[in-house]
A and B are shown apart, each in its own frame.
Chain A
Amino acid sequence: MSTANPAVERAHDDAHAHDHHDIGFVQKYVFSTDHKIIGIQFLVTTLIMLMVGGALALGVRWQLAYPWTNMPIYGSLFGQQGGQISPEFYTMLVTMHASVMIFLVIIPVLAGAFGNFLIPLQIGADDMAFPTLNMLSYWFMWPAIFCFAVALGVVPGLGVNGMNAGAAGGWTNYPVLTGIASAAPGSGAATTWWLLGLTFVGVSSMMGSVNYMTTIINMRAPGMTMFRMPLTIWAMFITAILQAFALPVLTAAGFMLLFERSFGFTFFVPAGLVVNNADPTVGGGQPLLWQHLFWFYSHPAVYIMLLPAMGMVSDMLACMCRKPVFGYKPMVYSMAAIAGLGFIVWGHHMFTSGMNPMLGMTFMVSTIMIALPSAVKTFNWLGTMWAGRLKFNAVLLNCTAFVSMFIVGGLSGIFMAAVPVDIYIHDTYFIVAHFHYVLFGATLFGVFAGIQFWFPKMFGRMMNDTAQQVHFGLTFVGFNVTFFPMHLLGVAGMPRRYADPYLHPYLEHLLPMNQVMTWGAILMGFAQFILLANFAISIFYGKRCGKNPWNANGLEWVAPSPPGHGNFEEIPVCYRGPYEYASPLVEDRDFVMQTDVLPAADESPEPAPEPAADSN
Chain B
Amino acid sequence: MKYFWVFFFAVFPLAVLGLCFAAPSMNWWFPYGNPAMTPLGQQIDGLFYLILGITGATFVGTQIALVYVLWRGAVDTEGKAHFSHGSHELEVIWTIVPAGILLFIALYQMDVWANYRIKANFPSGLVAAGEEGGHAEFSGPIAEVTARQFEWRIRYPSPDRVFHNEREVREWLRNPQPDDLHTVNDLHSPTQEPVMIYLRTEDVQHSFFVPELRVKQDAVPGLVIPIWWQALKPDEYEWTCTELCGWGHYKMKARVVAEPAEDYEAFLESLRESQFDDGFQTASAE
Q: Please indicate whether A and B come from the same complex rather than being unrelated chains.
A: yes
State the A residues within 8 Å of B (CB): 86-88, 91, 168-170, 174, 176-177, 180, 183-185, 269-270, 273-276, 286-288, 321-330, 352-354, 357-358, 360-361, 364-365, 368-369, 371-372, 375-376, 378-380, 382-383, 385-390, 392, 397, 400-401, 403-404, 407-408, 411-412, 414-415, 417-421, 423-424, 426-428, 469, 473, 476, 480, 484-485, 488-489, 491-493, 495-501, 503-506, 509-510, 513, 579, 581-584, 590
Q: Is B43 an interface residue (CB 8 A)?
A: yes
- Count residues on chain B whose CB falls below 8 Å from chain A CBs: 101
Known pairs A354-B219, A480-B12; list 20 more (Cβ under 8 Å).
A177-B246, A269-B221, A273-B202, A323-B84, A368-B102, A371-B98, A380-B91, A408-B59, A414-B54, A419-B113, A420-B44, A484-B16, A488-B19, A488-B28, A493-B30, A493-B211, A496-B242, A498-B250, A506-B211, A590-B80
Query: What chain A residues lie within 8 Å of B241 (beta carbons)?
Result: 495
Residues on B with C-beta less than 8 A from A501 are 250
Report yes or no: A506 in contact with B31, Cβ–Cβ below 8 A: yes
| Chain B min CB distance to A269 (Å) | 7
CB distance from A389 to the nearest CB of B (A): 5
Q: What are 21 inter-chain pairs, A to B, with CB distance below 8 A? A: A287-B222, A324-B84, A325-B85, A330-B91, A354-B217, A357-B117, A368-B102, A369-B102, A369-B106, A388-B81, A392-B1, A392-B2, A404-B66, A421-B47, A423-B44, A424-B44, A498-B249, A499-B250, A506-B31, A579-B85, A582-B82
**Which of B69-77, B137-145, B174-182, B276-284 touches A?**
B69-77
Contact of A404 among B9, B215, B240 (CB under 8 A): B9
Q: Is the CB of A505 within 8 A of B238?
A: yes
Residues from 215 to 243 in B contacting A, C-beta threshold 8 Å: 215-223, 225, 238, 240-243
Q: With the chains together, A384 CA to B13 CA distance in Å?
A: 21
Asked if B116 is at the interface of the complex by the 8 Å CB criterion, the answer is yes
B9, B51, B203 pick with most chain A CB within 10 angstroms: B203
- Chain A residues with CB under 8 Å of B8's CB are 473, 476
Q: Is B136 an interface residue (CB 8 A)?
A: no
Cβ-closest chain A residue relative to B245: A177
Known: A389-B80, A421-B47, A493-B31. A321 touches B91 (CB 8 A): no
Contact call B109/A420, Cβ cutoff below 8 A: yes
**Residues of B contacting A401 with CB < 8 Å?**
9
A415 touches B55 (CB 8 A): yes
Q: Identify the closest chain B residue to A591 (Cβ).
A: B80
One of B69, B77, B215 near A423 (C-beta < 8 A): B215
- Chain B residues near A (Cβ < 8 Å): 1-2, 5, 8-9, 12, 15-16, 19-20, 23, 27-32, 41, 43-44, 47-48, 51-52, 54-55, 58-59, 62-63, 65-66, 69-70, 72-74, 76-77, 79-87, 90-91, 94-95, 98-99, 102-103, 105-107, 109-110, 112-114, 116-118, 149, 202-205, 207, 209, 211-212, 214-223, 225, 238, 240-251, 253
* A387–B82 CB distance below 8 A: yes
Q: Please judge, given known A-B contacts A174-B244, A385-B70, A495-B242, whether A424 and B59 are in contact too, CB under 8 Å.
A: no
Quick check: A503 and B250 within 8 Å, CB to CB? yes
**Contact pick for B81, options A183, A288, A323, CB 8 Å:** A323
Q: Determine which of A329, A353, A495, A513 lies in contact with B240 in the assembled complex, contact meaning CB atoms within 8 Å.
A: A495
| Contact partners of B91 in chain A: CB under 8 A | 327, 330, 376, 380
Inter-chain contacts of A506 with B (CB < 8 A): 31-32, 211-212, 238
Residue in chain A with minimal CB distance to B96: A372
Minimum CB distance partner of B251 in chain A: A503
- B-side contacts of A499, CB under 8 Å: 247, 249-250
Instruction: Note all chain A residues with C-beta closer than 8 A to B70.
Output: 385, 390, 400
A389 x B81 contact (CB < 8 A): yes
Could you say which residues of chain B place their CB within 8 Å of the CB of A330? Answer: 86, 91, 95
